[in-house]
Chains A and B, each alone.
Chain A
Amino acid sequence: MYSKFVLILFVSLCISCGKQYHLADIQNRSYRIEKASYPVDVKVAAMIEPYKLQLDKTMNDVIGYCDEELTKGKPSSNLTNWFADVLLDETQKLVTDRLDFAVQNYGGIRVPVLAKGDVTVGKIYELMPFDNVMYILELKGSTVKHFFDRMAESGGWPVSRTVSFEIAYGKAKNIRIHGIPIDTNAVYNAAIPDYIANGGDNMDFLKDAKTNNTGALIRDMLINNVKSMTAAGKTIQSITDKRIKE
């Protein structure tokens, strides 16, 4: 009996030992999840619900009012002007040295419009979902010139009201800071988000600058600014000056 079992085991081992799995075919069939494609899994929806309620409560919180639709555009626009001015004003509150200008990378503003009407926390999150923080960089005038040339090359970035220049043949011309022509030997204090300060968007040359990390989130600066405007009885205005001209 025992030997018979061993024999069967031996035979079956022999059959399997010479075999292997060969890759015969691969077929592709992916699914697009459309609005009306599949019903929601009620268990999963129930798991999401408490988080969603908590989020909606915060996100739907009205913190201010926008007088006029702000639209993102190049070389400058009312949305990019407002954004960069807020960064300058809010960063200035954190330091005693006078700041010369603030910059935001164009791609970092994630939605094209801030609609007229109530401004909710959720809208600010849409504008700035990233947890970028503000740095203050000490930049030589020659580096600032290089920085603005790169902005000019890409058609213009959000800059604060303290800056003006013209784009001529992809370069920044007639650069003025605080209304005064740029001095390539002077040192300027610039409020720049960590992403760019660390060389993002091909701004590698900024990495060598002397840096102070304020630790303040860009998004919190926007939220705090809108809240303080509201507390002072003010609304968000459209600022249409052409600080960068083509």
Chain B
Amino acid sequence: MDRRSFIKNTTYSGLLLTTGAYPMLAGASEPEITKLTILHTNDVHSRIEPFPMDGSRNEGLGGVAKRSTLISRIRQEQDNVLLLDAGDIFQGTPYFNFFGGEVEMKLMSELGYDAATIGNHDFDGGIDGLERQLINANFPLLISNYNFNDTILNGKTKPFKIFKKGGVKIGVFGLGIELKGLVPASLYKATVYEDPLIAANRWATYLKEEEKCDFVICLSHLGYKYEENKVSDRVLAQSSANIDLIIGGHTHTFMKEPERLMNKAGKPVLINQVGWAGIILGRLDVFFERNKKGTCITCKNLVVGT
């Protein structure tokens, strides 16, 4: 029996003990497993249609209408699905130049995105252009280190959102990259960039300790890693204390599999990023065992398998 079907089976109460697969569990309380399916994209860059068939490397790949079918199929099979995006929704095809992000936001709403963060290119139509598109988004933009107090976006984004899926409490917060030097100031206007490591520590700790979230996800547009000394998802992971998963963007990194790093408390953090343009839909299945504090029968210390 492979691991996936084992876990699927154990979600049905009582099955574990009757199969006799784990006889040492006899007498212990049976583990109650909840599965959370996280689907994610980043840097879709207005790629509404698949890449054109022009002989280029990416021809025929991606496309929102196909991604929608895929997501619907997964939702039919799975009870607890979260669909997230790590920013740079805008810019890259004439859909953005002509319609200012309307198509992107309407389609993401139709696909049922639960949340997204803001990438540098999401300011390409100006902060006013981004604000104008919020009416077309039925999901929140999560960003915890841009201070929008003196801008048109004041009060229109949130630092975090808490989701409850199958009894599991999931805290999601967002982080954005430094805009100075990357985006003309005339576009982001009075947006103040705040230290992402401080914001991350503050909100992740709040979500874990105050809100008692079982799982904390950071939607990050910081970038996976850099040669130079610059804050990235790898730096964030290692300096954090309460983040379980970083869903990244910006560097358009096609990661073969998520990277597992240790945080400053010696606990594992996963980083994942799925390239760009919606070529890949990321999927992570997270399994939670509900049991007494300190006891966990099926815990694997975060081994990432496929």
Contacts and interface: CB of A to CB of B under 8 A. Distances in A.
A43 B111 CA distance: 10
Contact of A27 (B34, B63, B98, B284): B284
Interface string A22-37: 1111111111111101
A20 interface: yes
A39 B167 contact: no
A31 B41 CA distance: 11
Contact of A55 (B94, B169, B281): B94
B168 A21 contact: yes
A34 B60 contact: yes
Mostly, the B contact residues are mixed
B93 A129 contact: yes
Contacts of B99: 51
Interface string A100-129: 000000000000000000000010010001
Contacts of B305: 25, 27-28
Given A55-B94, A194-B184, A198-B184, A24 B281 contact: no
Contact of B70 (A27, A31, A43, A51): A31
Nearest to B53: A35
B304 A26 contact: yes
Given A25-B300, A55-B94, A40 B66 contact: yes
B282 interface: yes
Contacts, number: 178
B290 A20 contact: yes
Contacts of A25: 3, 7, 286-287, 298-300, 302-303, 305
A58 interface: yes
B124 to A, nearest CB: 6
A90 B290 CA distance: 68
A131 interface: yes
Interface string B264-303: 0000001010100011111111111111110010111011
A10 interface: no
Contacts of A31: 70, 280-281, 283
A48 interface: yes
A45 B110 CA distance: 11
Nearest to B278: A33
B69 A21 contact: no
Interface residues of A, number: 44
Contact of B291 (A20, A26, A38, A39): A20
Nearest to A50: B103
A26 B283 contact: no
Interface in B106-129: 106-107, 110-111, 124
B149 interface: no
B299 A32 contact: no
A48 B244 contact: no
Contacts of B91: 129-130
Interface string B167-196: 111000000000001001000000000000
B131 interface: no
Given A20-B291, A21-B214, A55-B95, A26 B284 contact: yes
B66 A41 contact: yes
Given A28-B304, A30-B274, A23 B66 contact: no
Contact of A34 (B61, B98, B304): B61
A20 B98 CA distance: 50
A98 interface: no
Contacts of B60: 34-35
A58 to B, nearest CB: 7
B143 interface: no
Given A19-B292, A26-B304, A30-B280, A47 B69 contact: no
Contact of B65 (A24, A40, A59, A131): A40
B68 interface: yes
Contacts of B106: 47
Interface string B52-87: 000000011111111111101100000000000000
A12 B73 CA distance: 36
Contacts of B68: 40-41, 43-44
Given A38-B69, A39-B66, A28 B95 contact: no
A18 interface: yes
Contacts of B103: 48, 51
Given A21-B288, A27-B287, A31-B283, 16 more contacts: A19-B293, A21-B168, A23-B214, A23-B244, A23-B288, A26-B245, A28-B272, A28-B283, A31-B280, A32-B61, A41-B66, A45-B65, A51-B95, A55-B94, A55-B95, A131-B97
19 contacts: A19-B290, A20-B290, A20-B293, A21-B288, A21-B290, A23-B244, A24-B287, A26-B284, A28-B258, A28-B272, A28-B283, A32-B61, A33-B280, A34-B60, A40-B65, A48-B65, A48-B107, A51-B48, A55-B98
Task: Across the A-B interface, give the 9 residue pairs with the lowest CB-CB distance, nearest first.
Answer: A35-B60, A41-B68, A40-B65, A22-B296, A21-B214, A21-B288, A44-B65, A25-B287, A24-B287
